[in-house]
Chains A and B, each alone.
Chain A
Amino acid sequence: EMQLVESGGGLVKPGGSLRLSCEGSGFTFDSYSMNWVRQAPGKGLEWVSSISSSGTYISYADSLKGRFAISRDNAKNSLYLQMNSLRVEDTAVYFCAKGAGGKQNDCWGQGTLVTVSS
């Protein structure tokens, strides 16, 4: 059974940094692209970033303006999101999601909550 487990969320002050992790199991991790998607409290889904299976190709939502960095360690079956210069509006549940052939996301983690507040 495919599974993704996120960790690393928490409370951080505006301007601070946080690193999220996502560990995959039940599938060949290094064969698939991976994504981060976030959801602010009571709001809809927002795509954050994507990384190809090898880590060669990376893309980000324009709204992030270079503050976030996605990476992966295929030897550890792990995906990461380094978040810097955090703002109150970055408060959200962050999901990692596995990519599939048609660019859909066929497996999601349970999410990790990031709260940016003074």
Chain B
Amino acid sequence: ETVLTQSPGTLSLSPGERATLSCRVSQSVTTSYLAWYQQKPGQAPRLLIYGASSRATGIPDRFSGTVSGTDFTLTIDRLEPEDFAVYYCQHYGGSSWTFGQGTKMEFK
């Protein structure tokens, strides 16, 4: 079973700063099947990044995804107030999907 470990659990930043969120996968995986989602309180998740580095439709270029081995990173440049939310990584493999436990981004 693939385990996705997100860090940090909570990230305290200010608008205008850069956020770096990590998702470490427990085994070598297909990068094509790694996605990132944003979820705000009381709302459904929203797809941000798929295939580890491709932005979903309508997602600003402040959001970017990279991968190095089994370490996936979501970077958000020039934080806007609406970016403060919870972020999840997700991977598909072996006919099942796995989510990381989430990183909460809060105002510093």
Interface residues of A (CB under 8 A from B): 35, 37, 44-47, 50, 57, 59, 61-62, 95, 97, 100, 102-106, 108-111
Contacts and interface: CB of A to CB of B under 8 A. Distances in A.
B68 interface: no
Given A47-B96, A47-B99, A102 B44 contact: no
Given A44-B88, A45-B45, A95-B45, A105 B35 contact: yes
A68 B55 CA distance: 33
Interface residues of B, number: 26
Nearest to B86: A44
B45 A103 contact: no
Contacts of A108: 44-46
B29 to A, nearest CB: 11
A105 B47 contact: yes
A46 B43 CA distance: 15
Given A50-B97, A100-B50, A45 B33 contact: no
A35 B44 contact: no
Given A44-B88, A95-B45, A104 B50 contact: yes
Contacts of B45: 37, 45, 95, 97, 105, 108
A59 B95 contact: yes
Contacts of B51: 102, 104
Contact of A102 (B37, B50, B98, B101): B50
Contact of A111 (B32, B44, B54): B44
B95 A102 contact: no
Nearest to B91: A103
B11 interface: no
